[in-house]
Structure 1
Amino acid sequence: MRTEEEATEAEIVLRAAAPEDAPAVAALVESAYRGESSRAGWTTEADLLDGRRTDAAAVLKIIEDPGSRVLLVERDGAPVACCQLERRDDAAYFGMFAVRPTLQGGGVGRAVLAAAEHEARTRWGSREMHMHVISVRAELIAWYERRGYRPTGERVAFPYDNERFGVPRRSDLEFVVLSKPLLHSPEARPPAQAQAQPAT
């Protein structure tokens, strides 16, 4: 029998999150980035930021925005991974990416990212995917670079005056902008199991 840590891309099935999923999605994001539970994975920001990463109201607003999508992976009825896509002209923005800490490093995140790229290409015709990553997260930036993302040279100031994004524990935080072309080719398609399914 497979353990959670042995999850592979072939097991991943995504669907679009519905409004009633907002509290569970917010809890998943919190568990991956904030507090002691996040230290079970490698995406934790617990040493960089205190406070909340998001809440149910903010997630619901994204879900209900016609220009955005929240993609969700469930196992046994509980969310184990999610991400946000936002349409921005001929590009898409990728954010709110979270994988349950005990599943990180097992291929789930890679499959979710591939499915999100496919969704942006096929649903909106997006030519590029953009994202913001905290500049001191060198390991995370390297993970994205191995998947074809490159720094654009653009940097975005961290919103120190807005606790909605967390309470910084250091004074040198900023975002780097990463970008990847989304190629319209058969080779760019993820496995069928990783393609997003509509909300039911």
Structure 2
Amino acid sequence: MKQKLETIDLSQLILEPAVPVHCRDICDLINLTYRGETGWTRETHIIGGDRTNLDEISTAMAKPDARFYVVYLEQLLTACIYLSREQCHAYIGFFSVHPNYQGIGVGKHILHQAEDIARQELAARRIRMFVVSQRPELIAFYQRRGYQRIGSQEPYPLQLKIGVPKVDGLTIEYLEKRI
């Protein structure tokens, strides 16, 4: 595994539609970025267990009006993001950047591309996501990119089987941006 990079040519990072053969890599990357041992996006201090599984990724990939996008560098899945068309907005999920590529602008670049795809291909005027409320650094990352809290919190969604809270009172909230 490479050590953390200091810089990268962001023009190399072009989101491409994922295909079913990418499901295992996508699942592994998401679990690494949210429940791994390194990277600023991990949430192991508040949530245990895997963030996703192969069935969830395969099911999400098969949905109409939804798609995973991926970026590979040197055969390593560097980033992935999921976009789906919801009623009157696009939804972002499973956004992950490999820990070796975090903190050098990759996430900002990928997010901007995803917003363009949502606007151009999904004809969305707004884009929405949910985040764990107890992740102020993650919320701040999105706020710096124009996302706003829409004012509602819900209990952590245990029914989605996206990990087990390690702290009491864990909640999620929705962020939204006009695109």
TM range (shorter): over 0.9
Say whether residues 1:109 and 2:107 are aligned partners. Answer: yes
Displacement after TM superposition at 1:55 (Å): 1.2
TM-score (norm 2): 0.93
Question: CA-to-partner distance for each residue in 1:108-140, whole Å, 9 max, x for gaps?
Answer: 100110011000111111010001011111011
Unaligned runs of 5+ in 1: 183-200
Where has structure 1 moved over 6 Å in runs of 4 or more? none
Say whether residues 1:174 and 2:171 are aligned partners. Answer: yes
Higher RCO structure (Cα 8 Å, ≥6 apart): 1
Q: Distance in 1 between matches of 2:155 and 2:125?
A: 25
- Helix, strand or coil for the counterpart of 2:69? strand
- Helix, strand or coil for the counterpart of 1:73? strand
Alignment of 1:52-71 (within 5 A): 52-71=50-69
Alignment of 1:24-173 (within 5 A): 24-36=25-37, 40-160=38-158, 162=159, 164-173=161-170
Displacement after TM superposition at 1:92 (Å): 0.5
TM-score (norm 1): 0.84
The residue type equivalent to 1:15 in the other structure is E
Q: Distance in 2 between matches of 1:8 and 1:173?
A: 38
The residue type equivalent to 1:83 in the other structure is I
- Helix, strand or coil for the counterpart of 2:121? helix
Identical aligned residues as a percent: 35
Query: CA 1:153–1:8 in structure 2 vs 1: closer, same or farther (change >3 Å)?
Result: farther
Report if aligned partners of 1:35, 1:46 keep a CA contact under 8 Å in 2: yes
Report if aligned partners of 1:29, 1:54 keep a CA contact under 8 Å in 2: yes
Query: CA 1:66–1:163 in structure 2 vs 1: closer, same or farther (change >3 Å)?
Result: closer
Report if aligned partners of 2:155, 2:169 keep a CA contact under 8 Å in 1: no
Report if aligned partners of 1:149, 1:179 keep a CA contact under 8 Å in 2: yes
